[in-house]
Amino acid sequence: MTIKLDPWGSAIPENYSRVMEEFGIYPFDNVIQKIPNPHPLMRRKIIFGHRDFERILNAIEKGEKFAVMTGLMPSGKMHLGHKLVIDQLIWYQAQKSDIFLCVADLEAYSARGISFEQSKKLAVEEYLANYHALGLDLEHCRVYFQSTNNAVRHLAFLLSKKVNFSEMKAIYGFVGESSISQIFYPMIDIADILHPQLEEFGGPRPTVIPVGVDQDPHIRLARDVAARFQKEFKFILPSSTYHRLLPGLTGDKMSSSRPETAIFLTDSDAELEKKIRNAFTGGLPTAAEQRRLGGDPSKCRVYELYVYHLMPDDEALLEIDELCRSGKMICGECKTKAIELMKSYLKEHRARYKRALPKVEKIVEKI
Ligand code: SF4
């Protein structure tokens, strides 16, 4: 059966190897040995695939210019799943890349009916201030709003000349009832991806888009369209990396619209404690059974919190894996540890957020 990736959906692929095979994504294992200081998300295979990442590596090695492009759709509260991209941006910023950060307010309007005013408020308070608090230096990023970026909208229109409805239908599954704004929106998205290579934004250079694998349809379209406009713009095909989607605490995809699935960066201690206590685990029905037979961290959402966020040290992570599998630690104890780590992490984050918010408001005022 053909695999469908839906950039606006909530499904998590069951088999990443099949996705890679079907869409021609290359294993990240092929390039990781060449990265001198890989990010933990790379070492832990959370970033599992890429297209043309060699170009980016080459630029890093030679100290040449390259860009990173990403976006945020301000449609709810920022949760830990969103943090995966920011962790990567911080790493790229340390590699001296140009970072383009788009507030996808046109997408929020088209897909969720959110007004531009609401989008701006959400973008600043829920996303950008959190990004800055996490360590991304927004003063050195090119932040923009889609709705006020004439270069992006103009480019989207030019690029749409060589894309037809049959292609959009095949990629995104649009139907007769799809609104024209939904059908046109991917053109804005690919203009976001390609515009850093326009002369006024630095000219053609390697560009990488770090995405969850559900966003691959946009990447494929952007690469195809970039190839069609070689003569006009001399685009270098954008590179991409793919990370696994952080599953929700309840077992399916994290979603801002279902608070029980996600830990938000603004959660109180009581909220996060309740969510972790109720999280789906790889434990057994009784404590006695689990002490005897051990648990299975590979099926556990609490273990994923350790892997993705709470345990940067690889040896400490391995110890949790062993304690779980041997039954020496059972779920209640393990959750208590995760809750304590998360509380202390979010406590520090809240203090950083308070300091970040006025700075970010000033940055956005100037856009
Ligand atoms: Fe998950 Fe921890 Fe339970 Fe193991 S002990 S299944 S890692 S919660």
> What pLDDT is stored for residue 331 in this prediction?
97
pLDDT at 219: 96
What is the reported pLDDT for 158?
A: 97
pLDDT recorded at residue 198: 97
Q: Which residue has the higher pLDDT, 9 or 362?
A: 362
Q: What pLDDT is recorded for position 10? A: 61
pLDDT in tens, 73-103: 998 889 998 999 999 999 999 999 999 999 9
CA 354 to chain CA centroid, nearest Å? 24
Output the CA torsion 301→303→304→307 (10° steps).
Answer: 170
**Alpha carbons 140 and 143: distance in angstroms, whole number:** 9
Q: Is residue 81 in contact with ligand 1, taking CB distance under 6 Å?
A: no
Q: Whose CA is nearest to atom 8 of ligand 1?
A: 331
**282: Cβ below 6 Å to ligand 1?**
yes
Q: Is the CB of 305 under 6 A from ligand 1?
A: no
* Across 243-259, average pLDDT: 80
Q: Tell me which residue has its CA closest to atom 3 in ligand 1.
A: 331
Query: What's the whole-number average pLDDT of the chain?
Result: 93
Residue 7 has pLDDT above 90, yes or no: no
Q: Answer yes or no: is the C-beta of 324 below 6 A from any ligand 1 atom.
A: yes
Quote the CA–CA distance of 141 and 305 in Å, as a whole number: 28
User: Within the chain, what is the greatest distance between any pair of CA atoms?
Assistant: 69
On whether the CB atoms of residues 146 and 126 are closer than 8 A, the answer is no
* Nearest atom of ligand 1 to the alpha carbon of 329: 5
Across-strand partners of 99? 68, 141
Per-residue pLDDT band at 11 (split at 50, 70, 90): low
Token pair for residue 294? 């051990």
Report how far residue 84's alpha carbon sits from residue 308's, in angstroms, rounded to the nearest whole number.
8
Determine the Cα–Cα distance for residues 181 and 183; give it in Å rounded to an integer.
Answer: 5
The CA-CA-CA angle for residues 180, 124, 76, to 5°, reads 55
Instruction: State the residue for tokens 């090119």.
Output: 142
281 lines ligand 1 (CB under 6 A): yes
Ligand 1 binding pocket mutation candidate from 276, 334, 340 (most atoms within 8 A of CB):
334
The DSSP symbol for 285 reads: S
Phi then psi for 210, rounded to 5 degrees?
Answer: -85, 120
Cα(290)–Cα(287) distance, rounded to whole angstroms?
Answer: 5
Question: Ligand 1 center to residue 209 CA distance, Å?
Answer: 33
Ligand 1 midpoint to CA 250 (Å) = 14
- pLDDT number for residue 333: 96
Judge if the beta carbon of residue 295 lies within 6 A of ligand 1: yes
Q: Measuring CA to CA, how many Å separate 191 from each of 79, 159, 160, 203?
A: 27, 8, 10, 14
Check if 300 has its Cβ closer than 6 Å to any atom of ligand 1: yes
Residue position matching structure tokens 């648990």: 295
In single-letter form, the type of residue at position 268 comes to S
- Determine how many CB atoms are found less than 10 A away from the CB of residue 118: 16
Spatial CB neighbours of 257, under 8 Å, sequence gap ≥ 6: 76
Determine the residue of 276, 284, 301, 303 to mutate for testing ligand 1's pocket, defined as the one with the most ligand atoms within 8 A of the Cβ atom.
Answer: 303
Which residue from 146, 150, 242 is spatially nearest to 185, judged by alpha carbons?
146
CB-ligand 1 contact for 306 (6 Å cutoff) = no
